[in-house]
Structure 1
């Protein structure tokens, strides 16, 4: 398919509509780059949309913000300069024309044209790691959960959480004050979450069972009624009644067709240099999907990498012109918006 109009070609196309992708879109606007954002989900937000009620404390200058609150802020900021937003399309294929323009082909056959690409896809399309128990799927969406869409469903309930990472620890500390009873099971003796969160959990009213794993769930009428957990060292089992079960065994990412573009990978992450350049000229990356020395896997780290990728894209588009530093406090359009 050929481009019919020059207006179909964008300076930068950002693949991924999470916080890093949206902040990158904002910075593209500051640099006056014609920008498009393509997000495979039906809404913006990325992985953060999986935990709208979770409170984040590790974003500089923001003491506390919920996932939903952060999404609202980054969407407002990221769309400030009017980038073209495309939802519900998953980019799979990449072709480079003789004139250097990239053609991005989506799973549904849609094609987008761009001079540069910034990959801000996190771990790709997120899929929760589910219970490997036949029949467990019949309880999903009722009272077997892999994410939290509403805290109220856990209020005054007998809740079981399975998992030992940051997500499980954070949700345990959030749910504990409102649950009638909370039990946390983890297959290892030590938790993998941040120390402060683990300490808070261990000092709470929650019943913590380690090293145990969630072996079976049983119920009727589409609801889990009982759970069986097993001590990993002795094989001893324990049966408990439950009202709600939350499984936080992590998520796995699926990069789809991007894995076949010829990008250099290291442990399923895209290798970039200090300028966020990949091994393919004109393609840059930022956020969790990247691998480089000193990588900081935090949203705050991605907020630094995004503008670096944008500056590199700007230099790629105009190699004969030095890319000067730019600040929001001196930006004429932003100053005009505040008036």
Structure 2
């Protein structure tokens, strides 16, 4: 039989990574299965966005936060399976059997679903020839802001993500134009106000109808937009598209095993447990009274899910993990850090 794990976590974003950390802290054999080719989840969509609302952290770029989160999540060396999309979850007596798209079968005592809204794929621009420029100057996410310095940028979209991009880019781009198909932007008022106060060109009731290429440079030279029945040409260096995301659930269950749901969300007890015994969840895929859909909420969900899973596996275990300052699993690691701090030779490399 394949190797057996105590906990298998589906999803390698913030909720999944903190679940892996806390599962290791509670001395359980842990595996992460992630459908993408890297860990980090949705945080990777906005690498240069500043995160302010995580307790104990100064404002930090999402990219740096993501790197720290991954390092923390791998503290206790969980097994990590990347590029493996989960197809089904089944149960064989007291063990769960997770089958991935490549045919691999993973055996585990408990499962934590930390896959958020599922696999996220940007909605593509439905204009003839658009795909040709995706590796040129047509973008569906913002990587490095510096890439857009001194350039004329057009952003299509009016939700929070599109407007957040516009706010970030107005400090580095030569010009920013935002077009949106509706009568007003749907983003947070404070961000919209920033655009207005800084003279960002906002065109409403508008959509891209045609891309005009620069044949010599093989890139987009201008876009044609329809505005209230008329057409307008806008010269551009870069086009950013944020028309939302397609969400594909990466988990299905054999008959009788699927937990109860409210719409797209799994019903949770608030302690991470789902209606199917042995299944737990953390992050944006669950609903319960008092649920917080922020990073800090994902971390609390992770702790609750792991503690509940621990007691499911071992009913005699303590209901929560010991704080790190008194936890034996950190004793050797703390010793190593103290020795490094004071320049004292490290006695063993086993930590």
Flag whether TM exceeds 0.5 (same fold): yes
**Residue from 115, 129, 132 that aligns with 2:109:** 115
Q: Partner residue of 1:60?
A: 55
> Which string of whole-angstrom CA distances, capped at 9 and with x for unpartnered residues, describes residues 183-226 of structure 1?
01122333332333222222113212223333332324441122
**8 Å Cα contact 1:176/1:205 also seen in 2:** no
RMSD: 1.9
Partner of 1:169 in structure 2? 163
Whole-angstrom distance in 2 between the partners of 1:67 and 1:216: 34
> Would the aligned equivalents of 1:123 and 1:252 in 2 still touch at CA under 8 Å?
no
Report the counterpart of residue 243 of structure 1 in structure 2.
237
Aligned partner of 2:78 among 74, 80, 83:
83
The residue that corresponds to 1:155 in the other structure is: 149
Q: Which residue of 1 aligns with 2:347?
A: none
Q: Secondary structure at the match of 2:158?
A: coil
Post-superposition Cα deviations, 1:223-272, rounded to whole Å, max 9, x if no partner, equal 112212233xx323322111100011121211134266623333322222
Please give the alpha-carbon distance, in whole angstroms, between the structure 1 residues aligned to 2:145 and 2:119. 24
Does residue 338 (structure 1) correspond to residue 328 (structure 2)? The answer is no
5+ residue gaps, structure 1, are none
> 2:208: which partner in 1?
214
1:1-339 matched pairs, under 5 angstroms? 2-3=1-2, 8-98=3-93, 100-221=94-215, 222-231=218-227, 234-258=228-252, 262-339=258-335
Q: Distance in 1 between matches of 2:204 and 2:324?
A: 49
Distance in 2, matches of 1:191 and 1:297, equals 22
Give the C-alpha shift of residue 139 in structure 1. Answer: 1.4
Secondary structure of the residue aligned to 1:28 is helix
Q: CA deviation at 1:298?
A: 1.4
- SS of 1:258's partner is coil
Contact 1:160/1:245 (CA < 8 Å) preserved in 2?
A: yes
8 Å contact kept, 2:208–2:224? yes
**What is the count of residue pairs matched by the alignment?**
331
Asked whether the 8 Å contact 2:88–2:253 carries over to 1, the reply is: no
| TM-score (normalised: structure 2) | 0.88
In structure 2, the CA distance between the partners of 1:56 and 1:111, relative to structure 1 (3 Å rule), is same
Q: Is the 8 A contact 1:167 1:248 kept in 2?
A: yes
Q: CA deviation at 1:117?
A: 0.4
TM-superposition CA deviations, 1:295-337 (whole Å, max 9, x none) = 3221221111111111110111122444145322222222431
Q: Which consecutive residues of structure 2, in runs of 5 or more, have no partner in the other structure?
A: 336-351
